[in-house]
Structure 1
Amino acid sequence: MDSPAVLADAFGRVREAVHEAVEGLGREELAHRPGGGANSIAWLVWHLTRVQDDHVAEAAGREQVWTAQGWAQRFALPFDDAATGYGQSSTEVGAVRADAEALLGYHDAVHEQTVDVLRSTGEADLDRVVDDSYDPPVTLGVRLVSVVGDDLQHAGQAAYARGLFDRG
């Protein structure tokens, strides 16, 4: 198995974890914030998907699914379309309210674009520098591994929040 195929498998595992955390929950359950101030499942899934969309689209020279497919308008969130969740306040976290259909639809569309990008990525492409503002510069391979790691952390947090909710 080549590296792009391994990465595609990893992103597939993110998708599975997202579906497990979201499926069967209503809008209020998805917006529930454990302890009154923790991140909700809706925010966690929106954020991990926005980061994946942003980073993969930028590295591939594509428009983000968020804007290209009208997801920004469907979610109608009260912040700029470029927002990915980094540095958001508690109030902004609470503003991310969506139903399971929207969260999973957006995530699946981003997953599709990610897998499409990986299909056209060769081993040598993974060494291409995508961000030279760091020392050492960030390659495509490092960026994609970073996104997988971040996504899996947030998917795990969403699963934990769901477990808390399910146990009441």
Structure 2
Amino acid sequence: MHSKELLQEAFGRLPGLVGQILDGLNETDLQRRPSGNGNSIAWLVWHLGRVEDAQVASASGLEQVWTAQAFVSRFALPLADSDTGYGHSSGQVDAVRAPRDLLLEYYQAVHRQTARILDTIDDSGLDRVVDTRWDPPVTLGVRLVSILGDCLQHAGQAAYAKGLRAGTAAAGGA
């Protein structure tokens, strides 16, 4: 298996996870915050989409799906257009409200852009430096692994929060 195929397989699991998480949830479920101050499922799914969107687009020199496909106006959140959720206050977490179908549609659009980018890379492309603000500088391969790790963590958190709502095991199984 080549690096590209491994990344395609890994990122390819996210849409199914997001779909399982959102399946069967209503607005109340999406907005419920574990222990009253944890991140809501709506915020977690929105944030994982924004993280993947912003970072993949930046590393690839593309416009984010968020703005290019007008999701920013469709969500109409009281946040800056460039906001991805990093460092959000409790009030900002509460402000992220969106219907299940819109959250899913946005993530699917983000994933399509990521998949198109993954189709174009090869092993040597993964060594391209995409961020010189770190020592050592960050390559595309390292950035993609970082994005994937972050998104999987947030998907796991959202699945756990879904399981809490009904007092059952986390969504999607063990």
**Cα deviations by residue, 1:14-66 (Å, 9 ceiling, x for unpaired):** 22211111111112210111111100000000001100000000111110000
Shift in Å, 1:6: 0.9
RMSD between aligned residues: 0.9
- Give 1:1-168 correspondences, 5 Å limit: 1-167=1-167
Aligned equivalents of 2:2, 2:70: Cα separation in 1: 33
Number of aligned residue pairs: 168
Which segments of 5 or more consecutive residues in structure 1 lack a partner in the other structure?
A: none
Which segments of 5 or more consecutive residues in structure 2 lack a partner in the other structure?
A: 169-174
Aligned equivalents of 2:163, 2:109: Cα separation in 1: 26
**Cα deviations by residue, 1:133-159 (Å, 9 ceiling, x for unpaired):** 100000000000000000000000000
**Cα deviations by residue, 1:66-111 (Å, 9 ceiling, x for unpaired):** 0000100010000101000001100000110111100000000000
SS at match of 1:130: strand
User: What letter matches 2:55 in structure 1?
Assistant: H
User: What letter matches 2:123 in structure 1?
Assistant: E
User: What letter matches 1:68 in structure 2?
Assistant: A
Aligned equivalents of 2:119, 2:36: Cα separation in 1: 42
Aligned equivalents of 2:5, 2:94: Cα separation in 1: 36
With normalisation by structure 2, the TM-score equals: 0.94
Shift in Å, 1:166: 2.2
With normalisation by structure 1, the TM-score equals: 0.98
Aligned equivalents of 2:165, 2:108: Cα separation in 1: 24
